[in-house]
Copies of this chain bind each other. A is one copy, B any other.
Amino acid sequence: MSTRQRSGATSSDVAALAGVSQSAVSRAFTPGSSLAEEKRLRIVEAAKKLNYVPNSIARSLTTRRSNIVAVILGNTANPFYLQVLEAFILRLQGQGRQVLTFTVPNGGDSDEAILRVLRYQVDGVILTSAQLSTRMVSLCHDRGIPVVLFNRYIPGSDASGVRCANAEGGRLIAEAFLAAGARTFAMIHGDPKGTTSQDRARGFVDKLAEAGIARSAITSLEGHSVYDGAFNAVSRHYRDGKAKLPDAIFGINDIMAMGAIDALGQRFGLKVPDDVMIGGFDDIAEGRRFPYRLTTVRQPIDTMVEKALDILHLDEPLRPIQPGIDVQVPGRLIWRQSIPAPRSRTPDGAA
């Protein structure tokens, strides 16, 4: 009701009411510090009476730890990364930490975001699907702020990262296609500069090469990591029988595989997997359901998030920055209806 500007009671206010020193109040709210139980109770009671809440900003200033972790997101159009964001939030909240969320325009660099992050003295930075200059890496490095790249790495840098074993995942899809009898292929790339897309494509092509498929039998399309990009690429490339349809199309991520399926269905009246088989990557919720039923490589989000936070070493009082730790977590092939199952396998339903 009043327009008071004070943001609330301070530890000194509580101290005065409880008849103790400000130090005692601080200790009452710092687990593990030495304080008589009886006094602690008295302080807590006084605090409640004043609606006292410790000021984390002030605390951060002295402890030099903000308990804030920054998560920087590129490509928010891909539901996968929103799922990743949620996983980070849940886990960090469980640890009593907060998440400062940033987005950077798709394909843009994250330098500005990093600069903002530095101002807020965050305890760590998670970077997904965004470019990061090596200058920024070393800036964080110098200030003792650990950075973990999520599903991305900077070749030649010593930045740490966690990623799905993308190349192996690409191989898994290739194997599935081969087992289902495909002999001609297309793949829809995401961000051409992104290592994630490159690695998946490489694994895919390598496996096919091993099976004797010539590189020329594999068409490359650009889908820019988004649904519409894939939809349009497929629509354009196969319009009017301009190009011959392959037996199988690999969407470098699920959202593009979905775009491809819809383009085939709506533009050309083609059915998946009867006319063309489709494989994806990520295992996003939307792709599990009708009508997509994507056969895909599941990225174990929880495991990846856990490992990323491990690398951050948030609990270390002083954290020596290790030279880049690079963790790869294997993906798992999930069989659904978008690729016909070979004899030896049975498709599972929607997971």
Partner-B contacts on A (CB < 8 A): 1, 3-8, 51, 53-58, 60-61, 64, 66, 68, 76, 79, 82, 85-86, 89-90, 93, 98-103, 115-116, 118-121, 139, 141-145, 227, 262, 265-266, 286, 289-291, 318-321
21 contacts between A and B (CB under 8 A): A3-B318, A3-B320, A4-B144, A5-B144, A5-B318, A7-B121, A8-B118, A51-B142, A51-B143, A53-B119, A56-B120, A56-B121, A57-B57, A57-B120, A61-B61, A85-B101, A89-B102, A93-B102, A98-B102, A98-B120, A99-B102
Q: In the complex, how many angstroms separate the beta carbon of A313 from the nearest chain B beta carbon?
A: 12
**In the complex, what distance in Å separates the CA atom of A90 from the CA atom of B76?**
11
A98 touches B121 (CB 8 A): no
- Taking the full assembly, how many copies of this chain does it contain? 2
- Residues in B whose Cβ lies below 8 Å from that of A58: 61
- Residues in B whose Cβ lies below 8 Å from that of A98: 100, 102, 116, 120
B7 touches A64 (CB 8 A): yes
**In the complex, what distance in Å separates the CA atom of A318 from the CA atom of B320?**
42
- Residues in B whose Cβ lies below 8 Å from that of A289: 227, 262
- Residues in B whose Cβ lies below 8 Å from that of A116: 98
Q: In the complex, how many angstroms separate the beta carbon of A125 from the nearest chain B beta carbon?
A: 13
